[in-house]
Amino acid sequence: MKILAISDIHIDFQENLRYFDNLSLYDYQNDILILAGDVTDIIPLFEKTLKSLRKRFLEVIFIPGNHDLWVQRCQVANSMEKLQLIQAIASDCGILMKPLDLPSLSIIPLFGWYDYSFERPSPELFQIWADFIACRWPENYDERRITEHFISVNEPFITLNTANKFIISFSHFLPRIDVMPYYIPRDKRCLYPVLGTNLIEKQIRRLGSNIHVYGHSHVNNRVIKDDTLYINNAFGYPYETIIAAKELRCIYEI
């Protein structure tokens, strides 16, 4: 059994959709797919993709990304309602959004958002970052409160008995900024404030994760920090051919 990981598949793009539509219906029937967010904000396409992936893998375990919570093309009041809709669709499709406990391994999804704990945002960022327009939140929810809400959802997962097991956790958002490679251009680092939160990292420490998969940055990377292997295998946009491998990655094998 292989544990495969991918994120940021953005199937709004035909090239991306074609890749996943063409995945074998037979090769992965004994394997588990970690899908770390950003499928699409379009609900019919989201549902179709989850159903398609479920046919191809033994199990699919998913956490939503920021794009999945955009509400401009969905008849919901806010992004919290969109999340509830996503959870219902995932359940109907047989997609997991809670820990998967195997005899020798636990795979644990961690919800999150960003709270500017990596860096303070610039005025320019508020003009260019789509989430500030495409997401909508209940009254009095700022980025800090949104993040704390999602982090609190993880608490029951953190307290599970995972003694003597290999632990793979995953999130859409970055748990720490030092997983970003050194070569990121200075003008791109203006996005660092909206990449994630240190609060996810605190939960990873409590879990004792052996591997943590994350998405969001679109920059594929593999780095060890504090005895945890951090892996980004974002599929990314069609033009991101240098920073993304554009393939499923096996991160562990039983």
pLDDT at 161: 64
- Start-to-end Cα distance in the chain: 5
Distances (CA, A) of 150 to 38, 63, 240: 16, 11, 29
Domain parsing of the chain, residue ranges: 2-253
Rounded-to-integer distance, Cα 216 and Cα 66, Å: 8
The CATH superfamily holding the domain 2-253 is: Metallo-dependent phosphatases (3.60.21.10)
pLDDT at 121: 96
pLDDT at 165: 87
Most distant CA pair in the chain: distance in Å?
Answer: 50
Cα–chain-centroid distance for residue 91? 17
pLDDT at 164: 64
H or E segment to which residue 119 belongs: none
Question: Which residues, at least 6 apart from 223, have a Cβ–Cβ distance to it below 8 Å?
Answer: 179, 229, 230
pLDDT at 159: 82
Q: Say if residues 59 and 65 touch (Cβ distance below 8 Å).
A: no
Alpha-helical regions (H) of 64-142: 79-93, 123-128, 131-134
Best CA proximity match to 85, nearest among 39, 119, 56, 47: 47
**pTM higher than the cut 0.95:** yes
What angle (nearest 5°) sits at the alpha carbon of residue 56, between those of residues 43 and 220? 75
Q: Say if residues 92 and 86 touch (Cβ distance below 8 Å).
A: no
Q: Say if residues 217 and 234 touch (Cβ distance below 8 Å).
A: yes
- The pLDDT tens digits along the chain (254 residues) read 999 999 999 999 999 999 999 999 999 999 999 999 999 999 999 999 999 999 999 999 999 999 999 999 999 999 999 999 999 999 999 999 999 999 999 999 999 999 999 999 999 999 999 999 999 999 999 999 999 999 999 999 998 766 668 999 999 999 999 999 999 999 899 999 999 999 999 999 999 999 999 999 999 999 999 999 999 999 999 999 999 999 999 999 99
Q: What is the CB neighbour count within 10 angstroms for residue 102?
A: 14
Rounded-to-integer distance, Cα 8 and Cα 217, Å: 9
pLDDT at 199: 99
